[in-house]
Structure 1
């Protein structure tokens, strides 16, 4: 758990506190099934007084083991997440059900940091931007060279549309 005492921040209207942490995935309650992290998770940011709420601004960085969505190679890539969240006092009224709250001048940063890191993970990661992927005919890795397969076949369901192009 990452807990910060915000008593001094709340005393000043423009009070803020900088922080920096290096955490293990287990400290953020991230399992291998959630996100296959390697090494530590770096968190740097500030928490500041924004009147009736506290504002958390942070950057989270971690190295993640991934599989390329095109060529299926395993690789390790950097994941960066930006965290921007508001924390409301537990005594506040009319706050949303999913809003982050704090009690007795202690703010727990673990959940917003964990959520941001998990949500920053792309649905389809690429080993490199220009990855050519696998050949749809023979399954060869097109990044290593041309396999020579004819990939210009037309889906038989769309063959009738080809007549319109000829006219």
Structure 2
């Protein structure tokens, strides 16, 4: 099961001589526990990570997540591919308290209970950071016609550009005065 694969037992490092271990995962795109808002995965998610013990109960996880996403353009809504290659790095503190991994404390540590590091939240965060705040199919995307909804990248629609939504007529008058 994918959920069990995405948990690293940090106590295994206690038995390792060099106190460092490498992990590699491939998460099937259909069984992904990672959620992409308004999109999905084209390829499986490939994760490579190194966990090393730094001090008593303190670990460092560094890794790379790679995949391809299918996302809608923020202007014209056409689906496009986004290549994801995102590095992640977190310090982890093992504690006896049950604390949500999503919350980072004031010293920059993620606190986890009983030495079991769930990767799901780290991968979710890395993938979300790789998605631009404004994802466009092309730099000069024309978007959709505000009147009929035609994708203007495919050609003009023939709508009268002087037709203004009555709710926005006040703004049109304002901008006409500025010209």
Normalising by structure 2, report the TM-score.
0.64
**From 49, 70, 76, the counterpart of 1:65:** 70
1:1-57 deviation per Cα after TM superposition (whole angstroms, max 9, x unaligned): 323333463468973222211012565523576752233111112111222411111
8 Å CA contact 1:56–1:85 kept in 2: the answer is: yes
Structure showing greater relative contact order (alpha-carbon pairs closer than 8 Å, 6 or more residues apart) = 1
**More displaced stretch, 51-60 vs 105-114:** 105-114
Give 5+ residue unaligned stretches, structure 2.
Answer: 104-109, 164-170
**More displaced stretch, 26-35 vs 109-118:** 26-35
1:32 to 1:49, Cα distance in 2 relative to 1, 3 A: closer
8 Å CA contact 2:49–2:64 kept in 1: the answer is: yes
Instruction: Give 1:78's aligned residue.
Output: 83
Normalising by structure 1, report the TM-score.
0.68
1:81-139 deviation per Cα after TM superposition (whole angstroms, max 9, x unaligned): 332212111148xxx98233141x44332222223323433343212334333455665
8 Å CA contact 1:13–1:49 kept in 2: the answer is: no
Asked if residue 159 in structure 1 is aligned to residue 176 in structure 2, the reply is: yes
**More displaced stretch, 133-142 vs 35-44:** 133-142
Instruction: Give 1:29's aligned residue.
Output: 33
Q: 2:37 & 2:160 partners in 1: Cα distance?
A: 39
8 Å CA contact 2:39–2:71 kept in 1: the answer is: no
Count of aligned residue pairs for this structure pair: 158
1:100 to 1:109, Cα distance in 2 relative to 1, 3 A: farther
> For residues 47-126 of structure 1, what are the structure 2 equivalents within 5 Å?
47-52=51-56, 53-91=58-96, 98=103, 99-103=110-114, 105-126=115-136
- CA RMSD, aligned part only? 3.7
Name the SS of the counterpart of 2:135 in structure 1: coil
